[in-house]
Amino acid sequence: MSDTSSKSDKTKAPKVVAGLHYKWIALSNTTLGVLMASLNATSLIIALPIIFRGIHINPLSPGSFTYLLWILLGYLLVTAVLVVTLGRLGDMFGRVKMYNLGFVIFTLGALGAALTWSQGNAGALELIIFRMVQAVGGAMLMANSAAILTDAFPHNQRGMALGVNQVSALAGSFIGILVGGFLAQFSWRWVFLFNVPIGIIGIIWSYLMLKEIDIFHPAKIDWLGNATFAIGLATLLVGITYGIRPYGSSSMGWGDPMVINMILAGLVILALFVWIERRVEQPMFNLKLFRIRAFTAGNIAGLLSAVGRGGLQFMLIMWLQGIWLPLHGYAFDVTPLWAGIYMLPTTIGFLIAGPLSGYLSDKYGARPFATGGMIVAATSFGLLMLMPYDFSYVLFAGILLLNGLAFGMFSSPNTAGIMNSVPASFRGAASGMRATFQNVGMPLSIGVFFSLMIVGLSSKVPTSMYTHLTANGVSAATATHLAHMPAISYLFAAFLGYNPLKTLLGPHILHSLTAQQAARLTSKEFFPKIIGDPFKHGLVVVLTFAIGACLVAALASWMRGGKYVHPENITA
């Protein structure tokens, strides 16, 4: 592989020889950074209702739904768009330098969000902006952490090190759900403020202890490549995200000309990015890296695993919040926190399998563990398909544990396989591209999974809801209107911890009914029994897609070949 920065070789920074214990310092610090970034990506999921109440806005009103989407997904979109650029900048100007700056920007963004001063739509907009500032810092942390570890550890220990790092990222996405729900019980501002002292510790620690070990290569910034990649990917992901929003009389927005145009424009601009990168002297990302089979297969597998895992996380939370927890006596307003608690077996599985599989992959290569992990993940999704909507939690927890073991088994070896396969001079960009594939998987998965679920619900719910509403005193006209409301309305109501039927009926309709009818309609059991069978029908469709994604990921992972370490990485 040729080095695209040969013209600037004379200005390379001197290579630093680190002490024997430096690798453990690098591991502990980067693990803290990645954990904080990934934890923050999901900490708002359960805290959203309290946050919106704190800024006095109804997230379910038609005019506020866009704010809801951007507060929920804006962090993920910005991170996905920027990680490649920031990883490449790390190659050019120093990975530790970019990583340290990431801690600073992330902490400032968290402080700004915690101090949001406005109410209503203005407050929501301020939160979105500060979340995006956080996302810039988080992207710097995520893009450069794997490269810093690859610099610090010898090739025969990278699987273990990257395993710990990646498990912290995966576990953080689930722990964030729990932490956000817990802190929001005190004040919504704590959901953001708790990042500040952690960020300050990380800033001091990283600036004092981390060193630039590998030679970095100053080069000209590929402005055109950076711009086309960022604009193209952002346009594509925003279009996909808006596809789940209702449009006109349709329950989804895939027929919205704006959505169609954004997706097509995004694809065209990304094609232009590829054309530019093949012609510029010093590209943002060296596309020749995709000639390395282990790199390409590992990234395809990573994308498909993220698609299989990402949206399903939301589906399982909605299953718990909208159906299972209310059926077992939990009030709707406490279901977000308890959903996070009941999802913990997945995190436990990550923590067990990640470091162990990473350690073993150092000896035997990534292929058997990453491939096996995806096959086990597909099996766990198949077992979920067999569960009734009112399941036994012991069996459910066992399947979640198996699912966590599967993704822990996959993620660490897959990351090590990718990072070992590229030349040392491209580690930052390669780490960024790896993170991009993973981060793109989440919004893509959400778009696909919600669409499939909405199709399944729309075919089953209207008749059931109309029958139950009219049987309890609701007029035929009102029942018809509510039965044909977009499924996203009651899905997000349950997701946000609102009683869906109480929210949809509203005080005016409820006051027109008898006390007994109103109590029955807004009871903990009424909505779950209406939605239970249709939700399970939609979930089977979603899980079938997830199984397919995991099996194709297993195939891609197997196609990476045997253990491969780029010659530069053996002596790096």
Are residues 128 and 75 part of one domain?
Answer: yes
Examine residue 389 and state whether it is found in any structural domain, yes or no. Answer: yes
189 and 230, same domain (yes or no): no
Q: Is 211 found in the same domain as 236?
A: no
Same domain, 489 and 368: no
Cα–Cα distance, 240 to 44 (Å, whole number): 21
Q: Is residue 211 part of a domain?
A: yes
86 falls within a domain: yes
Domain CATH number, residue 193: 1.20.1250.20
pLDDT at 237: 87
In a domain, 5, yes or no: no
Calpha distance 21→23 (Å, rounded): 6
Could you tell me if residue 4 is inside a domain?
Answer: no
Q: How many domains does the chain have?
A: 3
254 & 349 share domain: no
What are the structure tokens assigned to 301, written together?
Answer: 């597998």
In this structure, the answer to whether residues 253 and 377 fall within a common structural domain is no
List, as one string, the DSSP characters of 386-413: TS-SS--HHHHHHHHHHHHHHHHHHHHH
The answer to whether position 1 is within a domain reads no
The pLDDT value recorded for residue 568 is: 58
User: Would you say residue 276 lies in a domain?
Assistant: yes
For residues 365 and 496, state if they share a domain: no
Q: Which residues of the chain have pLDDT under 50?
A: 1-17, 571-572
The pLDDT tens digits of the residues spanning 467-498 come to 888 988 888 988 888 888 888 877 777 777 77
In this structure, which amino acid lies at residue 47?
A
Last residue of a domain, which of 283, 308, 335? 283
Residue 473: which domain range? 458-535
Token readout for 499 is: 């009683």
**Residues 516, 437 within the same domain:** no
Q: Is residue 8 part of a domain?
A: no
Q: Do 527 and 547 fall into the same domain?
A: no
In sequence order, the 6+-apart residues with CB closer than 8 A to the CB of 26 are 148, 149, 151, 152, 153, 210
Shared domain for 450 and 565, answered yes or no, is yes
301 and 209 within one domain: yes
Residue of 504, 507, 474, 509 whose CA lies nearest to 491: 504
Same domain, 127 and 78: yes
